[in-house]
Amino acid sequence: MGVRVKDLLSVLPPELLSTATEALKSMKVSPDHELSDDQLTEVYRALSAEVGSTKVYKLLRDAGILRERLRLKAFIVGDSGVGKTTFCVKLATGIFKEGYKMTVGVDFYAIELIHDDKLVKLILWDLAGQERFGFVRPTFYSGASGGFIAFALDLPSTLSNVPGWLEEVRQNAGEVPCILLGTKLDLAPDNPGALRVVKELGLHSYVPISSKTGENLGLAVKTLLSACLR
């Protein structure tokens, strides 16, 4: 399962030790602590920034900490304004950008993270302002293993539109797992109606999130990866 702090440090070359120790220090973990995927991802990112992702991957693979490196394409759909782009930007950069404006088109974001001894490069596709056009978007959905359907907790009409979004997904991407996201949890309480929608539509699961506070963002991604990598 998880790798212990001291075992991780023992496989790193001397020139990477200070970067790793620095990243671990902020987590306040003891040498015997078993790192969670999120913690290992954090160390991984710090090391990658230093010497590049391929080198760090090889090191951890040779040490038996990682077993596989893979790419996964996923989508996020939902009504305009529910916070899809904000969610993607926050995941990819760690920054909550208020009033983020998009150019028209389709955008994608690369998010690299460790999940069950795999290094996953998640490519998350975002509609980038094209929500109003109901036409088929083959490139957008092509090859996607699954994705998010988002609604805003402070705007119930966006939950009513989830069935329409699912229909578009099913037509273009097939029977891939879909996770329902209730966004802006910092602005409104959770909505029990979301779980009913999950049941009625046969969605994979429901995660309420806030891109502003960061609440459940990691859980949302973990849920997607677990569903897609089964």
82, 158 contact by CB (below 8 A): yes
Q: With binding defined as CB under 6 A, does residue 189 bind ligand GDP?
A: no
Q: Indicate the residue among 85 and 172 with the shorter CB distance to ligand GDP.
A: 85
120, 147 contact by CB (below 8 A): no
Q: With binding defined as CB under 6 A, does residue 85 bind ligand GDP?
A: yes
Q: Which stretch binds ligand GDP (CB under 6 A): 67-75, 141-149, 170-178, 209-217?
A: 209-217
Interaction residues for Mg ion, span 86-105 (CB under 5 A): 102
**Could you tell me the smallest distance in angstroms from the CB atom of residue 7 to ligand GDP?**
37
Token pair listed for 96: 């909550």
3-class secondary structure, 81? coil
How many residues touch Mg ion (CB under 5 A)? Answer: 2
Q: With binding defined as CB under 6 A, does residue 99 bind ligand GDP?
A: yes
CB neighbours (10 Å) of residue 223? Answer: 20
Helices (H), 157-212: 157-160, 162-173, 193-201
From 36, 14, 18, 17, select the one nearest 27 (Cα to Cα): 36
Q: Indicate the residue among 57 and 125 with the shorter CB distance to Mg ion.
A: 125
Q: Indicate the residue among 89 and 176 with the shorter CB distance to ligand GDP.
A: 89
Q: With binding defined as CB under 6 A, does residue 115 bind ligand GDP?
A: no
Q: With binding defined as CB under 6 A, does residue 216 bind ligand GDP?
A: no
**Could you tell me the smallest distance in angstroms from the CB atom of residue 113 to ligand GDP?**
20
Q: With binding defined as CB under 6 A, does residue 187 bind ligand GDP?
A: yes
- For residue 154, give the amino acid letter: D
Q: Which residues contact 3 (CB under 8 A, 6 or more apart)?
A: 34, 35, 40, 65
CA–CA dist 108, 69 (Å, integer): 20
80, 97 contact by CB (below 8 A): no
Q: With binding defined as CB under 6 A, does residue 104 bind ligand GDP?
A: no
**Residue of this chain nearest to ligand GDP (CB atom):** 83
The single residue among 24, 56, 74, 85 that binds Mg ion, judged by CB under 5 A, is 85
Which residues on neighbouring strands pair with residue 150, listed in sequence order? 78, 181
Residue 72 binds what, of Mg ion, ligand GDP, none (CB under 5 to 8 Å, by partner type)?
none
CA torsion sign for 230, 119, 220, 134 is: negative
How many residues touch ligand GDP (CB under 6 A)? Answer: 17
Q: Which residues bind ligand GDP (CB under 6 A)?
A: 80-86, 98-100, 183-184, 186-187, 210-212
Q: Which residues bind Mg ion (CB under 5 A)?
A: 85, 102
